[in-house]
Amino acid sequence: MEANLSALEVRWVVEGFGPNPKGRLVITSDGHWIVIITRSDRSPAKNSDDKAALLDSMLAYSGRYTIDGDRITNRIDITHNEMFTGALQNQTRFFSVEGDKLGSTHWAHGKFVQARPKSGQHSHWERER
């Protein structure tokens, strides 16, 4: 699993979950999508600040998905952060599949997706066998 944020115009990359993130993506044939991503350097919390840091070092959500060409749209129903519900509930990504590898680029939410992005969040997943 690899996740990063980049902008092609200035050629910078930010590894939001560190250099070796841990993650799991579950996609079912009946339209469910479940994802969790964490930094690999997390430690057990010892106090409230540590608990907050753990929350800031992860992403988790689930929902239903639809596919339209090379776009996949997730309608989020459960999330670790309520900012992904309401107006940001529908998230669209461009995706590609090559063998056991899934790549996706997430650059906009719902109605704002109009053309392929020049920047965005890029994720790369590989099927477990």
pTM above 0.85, yes or no: no
pLDDT greater than 60 at residue 92: yes
Q: Mapping DSSP to helix (H, G, I), strand (E, B) and coil, where does residue 100 land? A: coil
Residue-averaged pLDDT of the chain = 78
CATH of the domain at 83: 2.40.128
Print the domain residue range for 119.
2-126
Count of the separate structural domains present in the chain: 1
pLDDT digits (tens, 9 = 90+) for 35-51: 998 999 999 999 999 99
For the beta sheet containing 32-38, the strands, ordered from the edge strand earlier in sequence to the opposite edge, are 12-14, 2-7, 119-126, 101-109, 90-98, 71-79, 58-68, 32-38, 22-27
81 secondary structure, DSSP code: S
Residue 101, pLDDT above cutoff 80: yes
